[in-house]
Amino acid sequence: MIKIIIQRDIHERIIGYTVEGHANAAEYGQDIVCASISVLAQTAILALYELLSIHIIYEMKEGWISCKLPDDLSDELYNQANLILNTMLIGMKGTYKMYSEYIELHDREV
């Protein structure tokens, strides 16, 4: 099972996320559930860095992705980052709705 945890600040802005585990919905290399969540999580990291030049704190290894925004961002950068992070979350929620037996999604707004 894939476990997704969305972290938010007191203003309800996404400040980080963790994705861990495997869906085991199909054979390794053919699991569209794992691929979907992994691509969304990794693309968000790339977009934060390449589009907004945010030096995010992240870790990636087999079955694990963790991302956290730095604490010293301006409100404008937090808002721009949240466009990217909320887009990621929309994709994850869509995958969750189709494949909820393989995903746990933890977010105060779910």
Instruction: Tell me which of 28 and 66 has the higher pLDDT.
Output: 66
Q: What is the domain count for the chain?
A: 1
pLDDT of residue 30: 85
d(CA 67, CA 50): 15
Buried b (16+ CB within 10 A) or exposed e, 26-55: eeeeebebbebbbebbbebbebbeeebebe
Q: What CATH number has the domain bearing residue 6?
A: 3.30.70.1490
Q: Tell me the average pLDDT of the chain.
A: 94
* Domain around 26: 2-106
* pLDDT per position as a tens digit, 18-64: 999 998 888 877 889 999 999 999 999 999 999 999 999 999 999 99
pLDDT of residue 9: 92
* pLDDT per position as a tens digit, 77-109: 999 999 999 999 999 999 999 999 999 999 975
91: three-class secondary structure by DSSP:
helix
